[in-house]
Amino acid sequence: MTITATYDVTGMSCQHCIDAVTAEVGRLPGVEQVQVDLAAGRVTVLSADPLELADVRSAVDEAGFDLAS
């Protein structure tokens, strides 16, 4: 079963932003796919198991951005 979760991310504005967020979130254990909607500021993650919000927040932070509250 695949879990789908969507997160609001602030500060993304270009292809480099998409690449950075995709790479960092994609490194989390169990992540199968990362889709970034730049215009909406949303990141959709498909994973084998539910992800811990703190782990996603840390990955987005490592990419240089912030999860919206």
Q: Quick one: pLDDT at residue 1?
A: 84
Q: Note down pLDDT in tens along the chain; length 69 residues.
A: 899 999 999 999 999 999 999 999 999 999 999 999 999 999 999 999 999 999 999 999 999 999 996
Please state, in angstroms and rounded to a whole number, the distance separating the CA atoms of residues 6 and 25. 12
Q: How much is the pTM?
A: 0.94
C-alpha span between 10 and 54 (Å, rounded) = 16
The distance of Cα 16 from the centroid of its chain, to the nearest Å, equals 14
Cβ neighbours for 15, distance < 8 A, ≥ 6 positions apart: none
State residue 69's pLDDT score: 66
